[in-house]
Amino acid sequence: MSNDNEVLLDKGNQNDPKIKMERKEGEPTSAFKGASWAALLVGVIAYLIGLYNAAMQLNEKGYYFAVLIFGLYSAVSLQKAVRDKDEGIPVTNIYYGISWFALIVSISLMAIGLYNAGSIDLSEKGFYGMAFVLSLFAAITVQKNIRDTQRVRERD
């Protein structure tokens, strides 16, 4: 039968040992880790290719690049602060507040920049917005997976 360290790949066939895969409890699956990294890479690379090919001045491209980097950092920082607080790890209120503020500012800067970008088509604005949001979400997920995997390894 199955123990806590085994995950069934097919719930309908629980007794078949050929479909079992070793995974430690609490660790994200390899498929979830891979999908998270793939989403992050697709989001960031698509965003950067779009910037490279955009008919913008270099200072505009720099603005959108800086907003992406700021957004990625602030999203990961906020995820860590929220999780630390949830797990009883001390987080100062100022750091927690700044993390929320930074994420809100990065999303606002992206929205304001796209709204005021008269030279960008609406479809291109949507592309940048979606690539940005995908990248932020994926960065949070990748950081969560790394932390969960590290926690499981430290436990053993």
pLDDT tens digit string along 87-97? Answer: 899 999 999 99
The H or E element containing residue 8 is strand 6-8
Which stretches of the chain drop beneath a pLDDT of 50? Answer: 1-11, 19-20
Copy the structure tokens of residue 23. Answer: 């995974």
Residue with tokens 């609490």: 26
- Model confidence, pTM: 0.80
Phi-psi region of 16 (alpha: psi -120 to 50; beta: other; left: phi over 0): beta
Cα 120 to Cα 35, 47, 63, 92, 142: the distances in Å are 31, 14, 14, 41, 31
Please check whether residue 3 is in contact with residue 17, taking contact to mean a CB–CB distance below 8 angstroms. no
Taken in order 40, 44, 50, 56, the sign of the CA dihedral is positive
138: number of Cβ within 10 Å:
22
Note the pLDDT of residue 153: 86
DSSP state of 145: H
Note the pLDDT of residue 19: 47
Comparing CA positions, the residue from 19, 2, 18 lying closest to residue 10 is 19
Comparing CA positions, the residue from 97, 103, 43 lying closest to residue 75 is 103
